[in-house]
Structure 1
Amino acid sequence: MAVKTYAASVIGASHLRKPNPICEDSSWYDKDGEISGAIVLAVADGHGSDQCKYSSDGSKEAVKVFHTIIKQLVEDERLNGNLKGFKNTPFKDVELTKQISQKWINRITHVHRNNKEREQEFDKPSKLSPLDMVYKKAEKHTDWYWDVDPMLYGTTLLGIAIMGDDILVYQIGDGDIVIVDDDGVRNLIDGDHFLGVETYSLAHKNSWNYAKTDVVTVKDLHKKPCLIMLSSDGLANSYASEEEFHNACKDYYQVIRDNGFDAVCKAIGNDKEGWLRETSDGGCGDDISLALAYFTPEDENKDATTCDNKHEDAKTIEEDPEAVSAQKNNKEERTEFKELEFTEVESK
């Protein structure tokens, strides 16, 4: 059984009507096989409002953080190559979600500092939200503070890591993570769906309290064809009902079965043309991010290869050199997954 992966993001139709349109979404898949022993996908949806005017950077940093944290988790010897014991280890829930949230705050702070045109806003942060969005760095670093308003970079984040028949699922905010097979479509985790544009965010104070994690075991996952899909809410919101959205997911699955995984990767398209372009144009007009993992039977599509996505947000993650240098200067150490005492984030 081969597993093929792909991810793509497109600018929403409503954004294309604006001057200098930008995609607030980001997507990532492990195209170059950096994470040995696991299949990892991530999708993030920057909020894109006036209050979150740098959320395109926030979503890019979010998928990078998921990649980094999950890579370290997978390589930890205590997992012993599987997720069976995840729920009984310090990785479970609070530590994992805190690590993701805190590292994201770290990265957006460096991004903010390294963009000179944002210096004034860094010195004088934008007006705080009702959630009192000013963060203080962890107690072990007493020399500086989180004095950037995280809501400027606000984003959701969805991610999965597959090891054997087990799937680690992470989600904060809206969006969908579903599995599709011959039996139909089902959610791997119940996402958050609110009326209007409200959603939980990595930018919320103590955001780990709003994140969800789970380990889902799918019997014989590698022995039968199935498709796992991660999508930002721009995809589901382009359909009139959940039933229609699920029918669209079935269509993706069936086209892969009939024509091969590469055919679907090419059909998904880009900002100018393709399925996602058509979906946004004819739907809610929002940005759309989509990440796919397809489990291919050995006798199916033998000539197909992993699709090479040219969308920059889905390329191999590369650490920003300036951010890495800044982290070294601040003596930020590699995240260690162990029983740590987390310092509560304080508000000014």
Structure 2
Amino acid sequence: MVKYLIGASVRGAAHRRHLTPNQDAIKWFSEPTILAISDGHGSQKSFRSERGARFAVEVALNTIKGFIETINFNNFLLTKRVADEQLPQIIVRAWQAAVQSDIDKQPFSKTELEILKGNNNTLAYGATLLSVVVTSDFIIYWQLGDGDILTVWENGTVEKPLPKDERLFANETTSLCGKTAWYDFRFRFQHILKVPPKLLLLSSDGYANSFCDESSFLQVGGDILQLIETEGLYYVRQHLENWLCESSERGSGDDISVGLIVLNEEAK
């Protein structure tokens, strides 16, 4: 099974106008195939969230990589249990350690402490996390907070592999800085019995929020797969950043990050 990864993260149109940084982060490994996206909250109290997002993707990739390198691929039940019950806790604790190390290097100013108003220091770094690992035998998905994961199948069907979290509405989201962060992860272990999806798309919430409705957003998964198959992966890689900038300008105004994993023998 051939696996190709491409991705891009763009500063939102509103962020450019207000001179605020891109608070998303994206990172991937090609071997093993792991992709992670994080969206820093960017609120007044999460004033270091672009760092929190960067720490999130680094921690997720390193944690998942270590897990994949040590598991017994013949025991799917144990693999699923560890991935579901232990990895979220390891990721959260590693993220908290990275945050504390950053605070030790650059302590909060008096003004920043006043903004936090006694809240947990990790609130300043608050961020969401999407991550996925793909092997020849299974795909594992993790999600904490908003954003989207789509699977696109050969027949054009586009699905969301994870259940909806009813707590996510308006600007409310679960987060790495939450008190119950590791319990708030959504998870799925997908055993590849015959044919895997042809495309996995991960995106921060700025992308879906740039479409008029969910059906229009879901359609983009099939559209991108069709472009890959007709124009080639290089074409999509060349244009992806511009497409995301245009989406932000016409839509949400937010930062947008998109990562694509192509499971396609014909990808060029």
Same fold (TM over 0.5): yes
Structure 2 vs 1, CA of residues 258 and 188 (structure 1 numbering), >3 Å: closer, same or farther?
Answer: same
Instruction: Give 3-state SS (helix, strand or coil) of 1:239's partner.
Output: coil
Could you tell me which residue of structure 2 aligns to residue 23 of structure 1? 22
Shift of 1:93: 2.4
Structure 2 vs 1, CA of residues 99 and 294 (structure 1 numbering), >3 Å: closer, same or farther?
Answer: same
Could you tell me which residue of structure 1 aligns to residue 160 of structure 2? 187
Deviates most, 151-160 or 258-267: 258-267
Shift of 1:191: 4.3
Gaps of 5+ in 2: none
The amino acid of 2:249's aligned partner reads D
- The answer to whether structure 1 residue 128 and structure 2 residue 118 are counterparts is yes
Aligned counterparts, 1:282-321, within 5 A: 282-297=250-265, 300-301=266-267, 304=268
The amino acid of 1:98's aligned partner reads Q
Q: Is the 8 A contact 1:174 1:191 kept in 2?
A: no
Could you tell me which residue of structure 1 aligns to residue 40 of structure 2? 46
- Give the aligned length: 266
| Alpha-carbon distance between aligned partners in 2 of 1:166 and 1:103, rounded to the nearest angstrom | 25
Q: 2:99 aligns with which of 90, 102, 108?
A: 108
Gaps of 5+ in 1: 134-148, 305-348
Instruction: Give 3-state SS (helix, strand or coil) of 1:199's partner.
Output: coil
Could you tell me which residue of structure 2 aligns to residue 166 of structure 1? 138
Shift of 1:123: 7.7
Q: Is the 8 A contact 1:185 1:249 kept in 2?
A: yes
Q: Is the 8 A contact 1:46 1:59 kept in 2?
A: yes
Shift of 1:218: 3.6
Shift of 1:121: 6.8
Shift of 1:250: 1.2
| Alpha-carbon distance between aligned partners in 1 of 2:25 and 2:254, rounded to the nearest angstrom | 13
Cα deviations by residue, 1:95-128 (Å, 9 ceiling, x for unpaired): 2111111110000111122226x35578888213
Q: Is the 8 A contact 1:82 1:163 kept in 2?
A: no
Aligned counterparts, 1:170-249, within 5 A: 170-183=142-155, 184-192=157-165, 194-221=168-195, 226-249=198-221
Shift of 1:7: 1.9
Structure 2 vs 1, CA of residues 275 and 156 (structure 1 numbering), >3 Å: closer, same or farther?
Answer: same
The amino acid of 2:146's aligned partner reads D
Structure 2 vs 1, CA of residues 185 and 88 (structure 1 numbering), >3 Å: closer, same or farther?
Answer: closer
Cα deviations by residue, 1:275-333 (Å, 9 ceiling, x for unpaired): 00000001111111111100122xx25xx3xxxxxxxxxxxxxxxxxxxxxxxxxxxxx
Q: 2:77 aligns with which of 63, 85, 102?
A: 85
Q: Is the 8 A contact 2:73 2:79 kept in 1?
A: no
Structure 2 vs 1, CA of residues 256 and 60 (structure 1 numbering), >3 Å: closer, same or farther?
Answer: same
Shift of 1:86: 3.8
Shift of 1:171: 0.7
Q: Is the 8 A contact 1:171 1:213 kept in 2?
A: yes
| Alpha-carbon distance between aligned partners in 2 of 1:293 and 1:282, rounded to the nearest angstrom | 26
Shift of 1:4: 0.5
Cα deviations by residue, 1:51-89 (Å, 9 ceiling, x for unpaired): 10100000000000001111110111xx22467234564
Structure 2 vs 1, CA of residues 109 and 121 (structure 1 numbering), >3 Å: closer, same or farther?
Answer: farther
Shift of 1:92: 4.0
The amino acid of 1:127's aligned partner reads K
The amino acid of 2:55's aligned partner reads E
Could you tell me which residue of structure 2 aligns to residue 311 of structure 1? none
Percent of aligned positions that are identical: 31
Structure 2 vs 1, CA of residues 295 and 13 (structure 1 numbering), >3 Å: closer, same or farther?
Answer: same
More helix by share: 2
| Alpha-carbon distance between aligned partners in 2 of 1:203 and 1:209, rounded to the nearest angstrom | 12
| Alpha-carbon distance between aligned partners in 1 of 2:246 and 2:112, rounded to the nearest angstrom | 39
Structure 2 vs 1, CA of residues 213 and 83 (structure 1 numbering), >3 Å: closer, same or farther?
Answer: farther
